[in-house]
Copies of this chain bind each other. A is one copy, B any other.
Amino acid sequence: MKFVNQIILGDCEQVLKSIPNDSVDLIFTSPPYADQRKTTYGGVKPDEYVDWFMPKAQEFYRVLKPKGTFILNIKERVVNGERHTYVIELILRMREAGWLWTEEFIWHKKNSYPGKWPNRFRDNWERLIQFNKNRKFKMYQEAVMVPVGDWAKDRLNNLSDTDKKRDESKVGSGFGKNISNWVGRNEVYPNNVLYLATECSNRNHSAAFPIDLPSWFIKLFTQPNDLVLDPFIGSGTTAVAAIQLGRKYLGIDTEQEYVELSNERLLDTQIRLPIIAENQEEYKTDNIEG
C-alpha cells in the first residue's frame, strides 16, 4: 500500500484520502492539545477543538479496520480556572459519529516533578481514550501480561482451606475466586491504569509521551506486520515503537521539522534494531532464569 512505513508531511485529513478503507489495525495518537502548542501547530482554540477534530476522526473511521482500535491520548487544559470540556464533548461527538467509547485508560505519570498553583496541584495523569467501530475488536491480552506479585510465592505454596475452594465475595456481586486455580502461574493480567515514567530519555528530541505508551497499546491491539497509524506523529515515537515491535507504521504531521525529526529518529532506530533485538533476547533469557 501507498505510504506504508513512511512519515508524510501534510494534514492527516488530506493525506488519509489516499489510504483505502479498512486498512489500518491501530490508530495511536496524541494530537496537539487545544491552544497548547501554538508556536508549532498554529494553536486550535479550546472552543473550536471538537469541530477541528471531527472531520479528521471521520477519516480515521474510514481507514480503520472493522476490528481495529483507535487510542487517543489527550488531556484537557485548564481555561479560566476550569477544566475545559472539549475532551468530554469530543467523546459525545465521537459516539454520535458512530464510534464506540469502549474504554478509558489512565496514564498515571510516575516521576513528574511536584508543582503547585494557588488553586491546584500538578496534573499527574492523562486520558487514553479507546474508541472502536465494533463491540468485537482484536485484543491480544496475553501480550501485555505482567509478573505476578511476590505474594504468590508464599501463598500458593501454602493453600488455606478457603483458598482451595471457591470463595464468594461478601458484597453480593457474585464475584468469587478459587486461589488454587492460580498455582503455577507466573504472569497476571494488567489493569487499565498505566503507571509509567514521563521519560524523555532521548536527548535530541522531546517526545510528548514515553515510548512505553504506544508500545503497550501496539502489543495489546496488533500482531506483527499489522499497520499502525499516527496521524499526529510529532517526534516519531509511535513509529519507533511500531518498528521495534515488528509492525508497519504510517506517520503524518503538518510540520516539516517534525517530519524530518521523525525520519532521522527512524533511521537511527533501524540501524540499531538488530543490536536492540539481540539485547532483548539476552534480557529475556536472564529474566526467565531469575
Contacts and interface: CB of A to CB of B under 8 A. Distances in A.
Interface string A89-120: 10110010000111110101111111110111
A136 B154 contact: no
Interface in A231-286: none
A39 B172 CA distance: 8
Given A113-B175, A118-B139, A151-B114, A101 B124 contact: no
Interface string A159-199: 00000000001111001010000000000111111010000
Contact of A103 (B83, B109, B111): B83
A172 B123 CA distance: 18
A251 to B, nearest CB: 21
A115 B83 CA distance: 32
A52 interface: no
B102 A125 contact: no
A82 interface: yes
A97 B88 CA distance: 17
A206 interface: yes
A80 interface: yes
A225 interface: no
A189 B154 contact: no
B191 A112 contact: yes
Contact of A124 (B122, B124, B175, B191): B191
A41 interface: no
A96 to B, nearest CB: 11
Given A83-B103, A102-B120, A108 B193 contact: yes
Contacts of A141: 116, 121
Interface of A: 39, 80-83, 85, 88-89, 91-92, 95, 100-104, 106, 108-116, 118-125, 135-137, 139, 141, 151, 154, 156-157, 169-172, 175, 177, 188-193, 195, 206
29 contacts: A39-B172, A81-B135, A82-B101, A83-B101, A83-B103, A85-B92, A85-B101, A88-B88, A102-B120, A106-B106, A106-B108, A108-B193, A110-B156, A112-B191, A113-B175, A114-B157, A115-B175, A115-B191, A116-B189, A119-B136, A119-B139, A121-B189, A122-B191, A123-B191, A124-B193, A125-B192, A125-B193, A170-B206, A171-B206
